[in-house]
């Protein structure tokens, strides 16, 4: 009887479950969106109980679609939106506040205060991260400071913190297992990426009790089993990684210097730096890629906060299209774009600028500008953001990245992929399966139970669907990038007091 791997992919806007066979083929899948909450400008929240209910329902649905039961699943892997912060009651399992999402900017002022007080280099040296509201640390502090009695309860050991994978594992094991994998821990701004443990100096600085934090573990290993009520019997939980690190693993970027870009809600570009952390002088982050077989691999990361979310904005708020794929046709219809630039800084600008107060802007509009040109400018902006990240990586490494593997929903857009190749002068490789995030979680889970003998088995599964090669001449490329950088500079200037 064939056996399968279940991968739970808990994203920023939806929960998915994909069931894979050994060759990485999708046997069954289900996906459902869950509500987004925006209490104030720049604030973004989720209801963690809605995430839990949605994730379990799609897992059950995926099993039912293929008439599977728990005996057919050899292991379960999880991948998740990172940095999103949940604090819950250790006894009741109820969150004490909505989950604060990675996009949320409510703690920007506190992050800026920490910078002014001179803590940036210490935190960067220990965690690989810059000080920013993006990460979990300041979000935990906000909850403890603003929910009545939260800090006192946390100090008494009554509250637990977790990013989303930690929350799901705790719930699936009936509250028996409170862990976080190294890749997610590395995104909290509390984790020392050298000692692989929570850092007491940073915890003291943010006044966060250590007793509420989960145990850090490798990304592949036996964490526990699901309670029988969920799937009719226990399923081993053996893999966990933050979405971007899971995508790096799913794209088989196992060698030093291999890079991928995920075009999801945001855009995330990661490069494998091997067994040593490379610290950036160009505004990038140093992070843990994964922990596997007693070894840690590190990565350089650049994050653009808005990618697919910009296309959703065109579709849902601007009503320019009814379906996201229509953006490709509209962009091609726009011709050259005629000097229109869109800066999609809906929740600030991420790497390498790190300007949390910047907001979206469109420049170069004339009387003749139509919705097709704005759609094209929006798609182009996603490629420009990634080119900024690629250039920063090249500066840190001393060499340019000539091949970039891509995944995520927006990489289906051929116009965007060709423009990315052109504006970055980089070969873009798209595989037949662009679901690298959930696939990475499945591979990590499968390695832990011997479903795969080694990463060589995984490499054999990858099949290239299309390669986009640069076709733009250097003069045009330079002119377009000059215009983009002027637009970013103007958007940042508009945000200054």
Domains, in order of start, for the chain: 4-244 (3.30.420.40), 252-431+463-496 (3.30.420.40)
3-state secondary structure of 33: strand
Cα 424 to Cα 31, 382, 383, 400, 477: the distances in Å are 33, 12, 8, 10, 8
Give the chain's mean pLDDT: 93
- Cite the annotated binding site for glycerol by residue number: 82-83, 134, 243-244
Predicted pLDDT of residue 5:
97
- pLDDT tens by residue, 465-483: 999 999 999 999 999 999 9
- Measured CA to CA, the distance from residue 296 to residue 292 in angstroms comes to 6
Predicted pLDDT of residue 117:
96
On the question of pLDDT at 1 being above 80, the answer is no
- pLDDT tens by residue, 161-210: 999 999 999 999 999 999 999 999 999 999 999 999 999 999 999 999 99
- pLDDT tens by residue, 244-275: 999 999 999 998 888 999 998 888 899 999 99
Half-sphere exposure of 308 (CA within 13 A, CB side): 21
ω before 352 within 30° of 0 (cis)?
yes
Give the range among 336-340, 415-419, 452-456 with minimum mean pLDDT.
336-340
Per-position DSSP letters for 82-126, written without gaps between them: SS-BEEEETTT--BSSPEEPTT--TTHHHHHHHHHTT-HHHHHHH
Task: 346-349: list long-range contacts, CB under 8 Å, 24+ apart.
Answer: 346/305, 346/306, 346/309, 346/310, 346/313, 347/42, 347/44, 347/103, 347/104, 347/105, 347/305, 347/306, 348/105, 348/108, 348/305, 349/304, 349/305, 349/488, 349/491, 349/492
- Cite the annotated binding site for sn-glycerol 3-phosphate by residue number: 12, 82-83, 134, 243
- Cite the annotated binding site by residue number: 12-14, 16, 82-83, 134, 243-244, 265, 308, 312, 409, 413
- Cite the annotated binding site for ADP by residue number: 12, 16, 265, 308, 409, 413
- Cite the annotated binding site for ATP by residue number: 12-14, 265, 308, 312, 409
Predicted pLDDT of residue 337:
67
């Amino acid at each position: 009887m064939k056996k399968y791997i279940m991968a739970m992919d808990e994203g920023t806007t939806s929960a998915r479950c994909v069931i894979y066979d050994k060759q990485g083929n999708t046997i069954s899948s289900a996906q459902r969106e869950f509500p987004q909450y925006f209490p104030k400008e720049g604030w973004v929240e989720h209801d963690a109980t809605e995430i839990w209910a949605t994730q379990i329902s799609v897992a059950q649905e995926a099993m039912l679609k293929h008439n599977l039961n728990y005996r057919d699943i050899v292991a379960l892997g999880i991948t998740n939106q990172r940095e999103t912060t949940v604090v819950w009651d250790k006894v009741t399992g109820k969150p004490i506040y909505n989950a604060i999402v990675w996009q949320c900017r409510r703690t920007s002022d506190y992050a800026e205060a920490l910078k002014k007080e001179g803590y940036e280099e210490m935190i960067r040296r220990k965690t690989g991260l810059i000080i920013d509201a993006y990460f979990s640390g300041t979000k935990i502090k906000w909850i403890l400071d603003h929910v009545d009695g939260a800090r006192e309860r946390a100090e008494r050991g009554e509250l637990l913190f977790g990013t989303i994978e930690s929350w799901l594992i705790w719930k699936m094991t009936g509250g028996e297992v409170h862990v976080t994998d190294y890749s997610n821990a590395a995104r909290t701004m509390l984790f020392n990426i050298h000692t692989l443990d929570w850092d007491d100096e940073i915890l003291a600085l943010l006044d966060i009790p250590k007793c509420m934090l989960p145990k850090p573990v490798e990304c592949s290993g036996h964490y526990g089993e699901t309670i029988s009520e969920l799937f009719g019997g226990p399923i081993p939980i053996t893999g966990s990684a933050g979405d971007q690190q899971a995508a790096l693993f799913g794209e088989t970027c196992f060698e030093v210097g291999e890079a991928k870009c995920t075009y999801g809600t945001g855009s995330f570009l990661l490069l494998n730096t091997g067994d040593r952390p490379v610290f950036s002088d160009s505004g990038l982050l140093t992070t843990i890629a994964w922990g596997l077989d007693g070894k840690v691999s590190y990565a350089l990361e650049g994050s653009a906060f808005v990618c697919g979310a910009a296309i959703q904005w065109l579709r849902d708020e601007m009503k320019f299209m009814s379906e996201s794929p229509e953006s490709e046709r509209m962009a091609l219809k726009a011709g050259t774009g005629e000097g229109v630039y869109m800066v999609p800084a809906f929740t600030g600008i991420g790497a390498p600028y790190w300007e949390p107060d910047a907001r979206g802007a469109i420049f170069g509009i004339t009387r003749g500008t139509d919705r097709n040109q704005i759609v094209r400018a929006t798609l182009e902006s996603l490629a420009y953001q990634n080119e900024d990240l690629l250039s920063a990586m090249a500066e840190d490494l001393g060499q340019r990245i000539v091949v970039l593997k891509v995944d995520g929903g927006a990489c289906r857009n051929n116009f965007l992929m060709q423009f990315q190749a052109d504006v970055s002068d980089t070969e873009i490789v798209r595989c037949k399966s662009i679901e690298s995030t959930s696939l990475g979680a499945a591979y990590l889970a499968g390695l832990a139970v011997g479903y795969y003998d080694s990463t060589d088995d995984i490499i054999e599964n990858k099949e290239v669907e299309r390669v986009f090669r640069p076709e733009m001449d250097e003069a045009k490329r330079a002119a377009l990038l000059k215009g983009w950088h002027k637009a970013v500079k103007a958007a940042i200037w508009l945000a200054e007091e």
